[in-house]
A and B are shown apart, each in its own frame.
Chain A
């Protein structure tokens, strides 16, 4: 009964979404605000309706309705209720419902704002968001329905179908297969929603960009309206990526956080175009340049968001993430192709109106460096995309499937990332319009020399690794330039405004949140770079089988095996095997770790939980690999020492802080600008 209700509501919502698309187009053609209003109201209906349908799905999940195939696939009796709720996005069909639920929520939010001066955008924003919602609902209704049930025909065969086939009776499994244990982790519970939040938020700036192209209002209004959406999208996508990395570090037990897996890259690609977009829209706002480019970037981002959802949810590529395989591929391909071609056609149609207002003169001006930044991001995108599709290309052209692994990506993107870091150092000090090598050199040489001294110091004390030294030089350079910039401007303000240093610093940040939030984000990226460089270049590992009392040693640490215990937790359906080891550094006792291996009965799968001792200097990461149950005195451990990796997570927190500063509404500035300049519009944004 509930299954039919849930499915019926989705079908109705699909029709309503299509209606709002049609009504919005018709209303715009007929210049009838009443019809557009009807489209808007229809669209506002989609969120409550999808919520209702999702509610029935969640009800089915938490009440063990295993006759529903999705419930059977992702839950089991032994799972706690909160996990049954989050199993909503634990499988393909449910996660597509989740996607459309978020899409309808954001679309509703954006149409609830006051539209007075931007009336002409409204119908087209409704069209784009509703088409996207309808596409995902269509996938759910026609291809990946979470409400289908099991039926048993007379000859005993079991089939899945929405409605009862002829001569078949409902089939009720006793228990479900349960969510993949790897996914029963806090990181994995919030990682998909974060990514989806990021994905879906990027649809809003895309919708406004398309509205601007269709209506011909091609000034930077659409950018100003969606600036904050873009920032939130970027925040969620970035956090989603980091949380995914943290999950891999905590759960997958290979001592790393990022493996250049195609599905990771699929989520990384829209991040690359989104980050480029975030930077290049500033040039359009300040200088009226790169208008075509910004359109293309947001179109690419939208296409990559769809592509990312498709890759993560279709299982086309062999990857650790490919939990699902289904028929949604062709539908995705057609939809991505159709929206991409239409969008590009619109850009070409409006090409003359998108001409730049000024010309770029100096190669060292701020706008030229931003352009370079964009080129580097696009280059990383091309490398990533190439790596993902290369097996397909090589198979088509030579008949031989050739794949490339992480070393390809590391080698090809390394210099590009280094280039980006260098730009982060020099761009903040270059001027709009015109900079010369002399003005820039004068502002930078002290920091460059200091960073070089740090690199030389590291060469003599810590490492002879060239890669690491170049990396640390760049990190030190960017950190110094940015911190000196903060210090210098705060000091200047301290003098003129008679404030103490910290008040001056806070006021300075408050006065231009966007710029200083951006600088704080740059700082956070450098902290993350320290962690990445540390684990990539200096990670060491060892493994061995040892008896109780024996030790493994690795870079000054000694890991001594104390005890091992194994027990069943029947209500949870898990068997735990837990080893206890003592950690010593140069003979000093530091503490105990307890690496585990959990065996889940319902899915017959192991999960290896590392014991980790984490400090600012390094992580000791111990895995319990194997043990002899009969003698109970020998166990195999794998040990990693991951230098500096903690800075990756610390950087993430600073990043969060920076983006909150950048995205926080600038009330004062809005007011001041609106009153000081005679602009035709105010620089507010869409939320």
Chain B
């Protein structure tokens, strides 16, 4: 009898935790995709929480300090780490993505302060929703400049 009480109590807690995890996951899932995947899915993912990564195209960056509106385009970058390595590392992949005019791109709008790391060939990971107009409305921007963290060898000109 005493044992039964504890087993039932334990199962109740377990059930509650499983419920919390499942419902919270469903409510807050963000689909991580590349620009190509986003273009392929198109209208079917409008309004869903998405996380998109791509290479920032420097000459498309526009910032209006009055309204704090930032717009720029990102070019498709593969999401597969092995592929990135095979193509000579993230820095090379980002550079190639921006240089290739045929690469799929998507326009991004973000309202807020212009991030310090937003520049040409930076990797952008954007959280937000795809609008019906095909523009990605980012709520959050995460930027990385791979040259800064990963390139081990110094520039040869430094001799």
Contact = CB atoms under 8 A, between A and B. Distances in A.
Contacts, number: 132
Nearest to B68: A543
A628 B65 contact: yes
Interface in A521-576: 543-545
Interface stretch (A195-203, A264-272, A304-312, A355-363): A355-363
Contacts of B30: 402-405
Contacts of B125: 318
Interface string B126-159: 0100000000000000101000111011101011
B149 A324 contact: yes
Contacts of B158: 173-175
Interface string B1-43: 0100110011001001100110111011111110000000000
Interface stretch (B54-62, B92-100, B101-109, B112-120): B112-120
B65 A545 contact: yes
Contacts of A368: 6
B5 A404 contact: no
A383 B20 contact: yes
A173 B17 CA distance: 55
B21 A403 contact: no
Contact of A402 (B27, B31, B117, B142): B31
B88 interface: no
B11 to A, nearest CB: 11
Nearest to B66: A545
Contacts of A359: 2
Contacts of B63: 626
Interface stretch (A50-58, A332-340, A601-609): A601-609
A14 interface: no
A73 B24 contact: no
B51 A625 contact: no
B79 interface: yes
Contacts of A502: none
Which of A159, A412, A625 has the most C-beta atoms of chain B within 10 angstroms of its own C-beta?
A412
B6 A636 contact: no
Interface string B59-95: 0000101101000000000010000000000000000
Given A73-B152, A156-B156, A634-B65, A405 B32 contact: no
A64 interface: no
B149 A323 contact: yes
Contact of B20 (A375, A391, A403, A416): A416
Nearest to A383: B21
A634 B64 CA distance: 13
A503 interface: no
Nearest to A323: B149
A584 interface: no
Please classify the interface of chain A as helix (H, G, I), strand (E, B), loop, or mixed, using the class held by over half of its residues: mixed
B30 to A, nearest CB: 5
Nearest to A406: B28
Contacts of B28: 404-405, 407-408, 411
A232 interface: no
A386 B158 CA distance: 46
Contact of A320 (B31, B142, B154): B142
Interface in A604-638: 604-608, 623, 625-626, 628, 634, 636, 638
Interface residues of B, number: 44
Contacts of A544: 68
Interface residues of A, number: 64
Contact of A403 (B23, B32, B68, B154): B32
Interface string A68-99: 01001100000000000000000000000000
A606 B116 contact: yes
A416 B13 CA distance: 10
A379 B13 contact: yes
A585 interface: no
A411 B20 contact: yes
Nearest to A413: B20
Contacts of A376: 13
A325 interface: yes
Contacts of A320: 142
Contacts of B24: 383, 404, 407-409, 411-412
A390 B29 CA distance: 10
Interface string A137-150: 00000000000001
Contacts of A72: 154
Contacts of A403: 29-30, 32, 51
B29 to A, nearest CB: 5
A42 to B, nearest CB: 35
A400 interface: yes
Contacts of A607: 116
Contacts of A391: 32
Interface string A291-330: 0000000000000000000000000001010111100000
A626 B152 contact: no
Contacts of B148: 177, 603-605
A386 B31 CA distance: 16
Which of B17, B31, B51, B125 has the most C-beta atoms of chain A within 10 angstroms of its own C-beta?
B17
Contacts of A603: 148
Given A401-B32, A403-B30, A634-B65, A390 B25 contact: yes
A325 B150 contact: yes
Contact of A375 (B10, B25, B116): B10
Contacts of B25: 386, 390, 404, 408
B113 A158 contact: no
Nearest to A72: B154
Contacts of B79: 401
Contacts of A48: none
Nearest to A159: B153
A415 interface: yes
A684 interface: no
Nearest to A316: B81
A156 B125 CA distance: 36
Given A173-B158, A177-B148, 12 more contacts: A173-B159, A379-B17, A383-B21, A401-B33, A402-B32, A403-B30, A404-B29, A408-B27, A412-B20, A543-B113, A607-B116, A638-B112
9 contacts: A66-B154, A171-B159, A404-B24, A404-B28, A408-B24, A408-B27, A545-B66, A607-B116, A625-B114
> Which 6 residue pairs of A and B lie closest in terms of their CB atoms, listed nearest first?
A625-B113, A606-B116, A401-B32, A408-B28, A412-B24, A173-B154
